[in-house]
Amino acid sequence: MQQGPYRIGSRGSALAQRQTHLVLQSLKDTFPHNDRLSKAEIIWIKTSGDKIVDRPLADIGGKALFCKEIQQALLDKEIDFAVHSLKDLEHTLPQGLIIAAVLEREDCHDVLITPAPTSSLANLKPESRVGTCAPRRAAQLLHLRPDLQIVPLRGNVPTRLKKLEDEGLDAIVLALAGLKRLGIWKEDHPHLNFDILSFEHMLPAAGQGALAIECREDNDDVKTLLKEINHWETYTCIQAERALLKELGGNCHTAIAALATITTEKKLELTAAYFPDYLDCKKSRKLFICQTGPSDQPIQLGQKAASTFK
């Protein structure tokens, strides 16, 4: 029985569209004669996170709101697989779904964007208003600059850049991966300064910069297909990061950062930071670890690293 074109689900933002086309192109390059891929249909799904834009994510259900309708479409067999920004996926997936593949990770630094001539976190004026909705970013900003005022900031990348100017913010923080995928940089906004923050100052979210391809666990055809574009190094690293997040009960209210890398000796190194009380600047603590383990045991490394925070 002849099967129809593959159906791919994704959000409809400009960034999500770009990311989905990156995945589809990777598949087409790997399987140039696959008719189901050449005729693949992309189904753009508007999620609750896209519809509700006037409240902080933490108040309405967190980043899971960017995925749940897409995941339901998978479970209902309306699509064959889905493309997500990995950091938007909760550490525990709905029963019956798996991350079948991830593409090679894009640069996972964060970027501080300010009106010129301000050029860095250090030279922001006292009590500057900085836009972000991520507890992880807020915690690390306040740890470095307790005087800063954190302002909730929602919307896609162009919307956030516009709010920087329209709402009188002194700075915003965005992921470099998204800016690179959209081709947005200084030359497009000469009146703004883009300062890439070091990992010493701003560790990324678990999975930041990686694209996840999710499918049903019982769909062997799709799993076999996606396995061929899975980037082993990135997949190994995100397993450790997500295991740490799961062990700590990470959610939209927790300030947790994690970055795993493969060393030149083929070991897995996991660096993480946890701010258990970041909202209270007077009590704010930064718990920090850097641990190394075998690259074939990423989940165990993530769990072990998380235990040091407890």
What are the DSSP E strand ranges found in 154-302? Answer: 171-175, 192-196, 211-216, 256-262, 267-274, 287-294
Q: What is the mean pLDDT of residues 32-41?
A: 96
Whether residue 183 is found in the same domain as residue 241:
no
pLDDT at 1 over 70: no
pLDDT at 71 over 80: yes
Domain of 96 in residue numbering reads as: 1-104+210-230
- Residue 237: which CATH number? 3.30.160.40
pLDDT at 124 over 60: yes
Q: Which pLDDT score is estimated for 14?
A: 93
Active site residues: 88
Q: Name which of 21-25, 51-55, 264-268, 290-294 the model is least confident about.
A: 51-55
What are the DSSP E strand ranges found in the chain? Answer: 7-10, 41-44, 81-85, 97-102, 110-115, 129-131, 149-151, 171-175, 192-196, 211-216, 256-262, 267-274, 287-294
What whole-number distance in Å separates Cα of residue 278 and Cα of residue 143?
A: 8
Whether residue 73 is found in the same domain as residue 146:
no
Whether residue 100 is found in the same domain as residue 243:
no
Q: DSSP label at 292?
A: E
Q: Are 193 and 114 in contact (CB under 8 A)?
A: yes
Percent of the chain whose predicted confidence (pLDDT) is above 70: 91
pLDDT at 39 over 70: yes
pLDDT tens digits along 285-305: 789 999 999 999 999 999 999
Q: What is the mean pLDDT of the chain?
A: 91
Within-domain flag for 203 = no
Q: Which pLDDT score is estimated for 215?
A: 98
The residue count for the chain: 310
